[in-house]
Amino acid sequence: MALLAGALPAAAVEEGAPAPAIVAAPLRAGTPPVSLAGLKGRVVYVDFWASWCVPCRNSMPVLDGLARRFGARGFSVVGVNKDTSLADAERFLRRVPVAFSLVSDADDAIARAFDVKAMPSGYLIDRGGVVRAVHRGFTPETAAALEREIERWLGP
């Protein structure tokens, strides 16, 4: 299945902007495609990662924990893989397993739609499809800020 991204101009997606409309092929066989429209009503973190991204080794387990912790309250993570080789992504996932949705972006369509500038990059999207936070890179401070932002946008 091909990746589809809305015909969007290459402009940085920042806080307050609508999230690009994307439909993406799953990275794992036997799982359905992922569309942001299909996740409307949930708070979503779209995370761009790759096997060669050193900070991704730290961010992926944190994101998996957040997805498990907040999933029942309406939070989802979509991991967008930037590897050109599926084997590289699979090798990474054997070392750093996660349970959240993973999609492939080998042709860069999704990264172009979001105008990704660093790896990893993450976009927190509210229930209405608006980007509420953008994180470039990943540190312990990023993890703490993201947790607070998730709590805020999920509400009581």
- Output the pTM of the full model: 0.91
Question: What pLDDT score does 11 carry?
Answer: 60
Backbone angles phi, psi at 26, to 5 degrees: -70, 150
Residue 123's CATH number: 3.40.30.10
Q: Which residues contact 49 (CB under 8 A, 6 or more apart)?
A: 56, 59, 60, 79, 80, 81, 82, 119, 120
Q: Is 5 part of any domain?
A: no
CA-CA distance, 154 to 156, in Å (whole number)? 7
Q: Which residues contact 101 (CB under 8 A, 6 or more apart)?
A: 26, 31, 34, 76, 77, 78, 79
Q: Is 4 part of any domain?
A: no
Per-residue pLDDT of the chain (156 residues; tens, 9 = 90+): 334 444 344 566 888 899 999 899 999 888 889 999 999 999 999 999 999 999 999 999 999 999 999 999 999 999 999 999 999 999 999 999 999 999 999 889 999 999 999 999 999 999 999 999 999 999 999 999 999 999 999 998
Under a CB-based contact definition with an 8 Å cutoff, are residues 22 and 1 in contact? no
Q: Which domain holds residue 88?
A: 17-154
The total of structural domains in the chain comes to 1
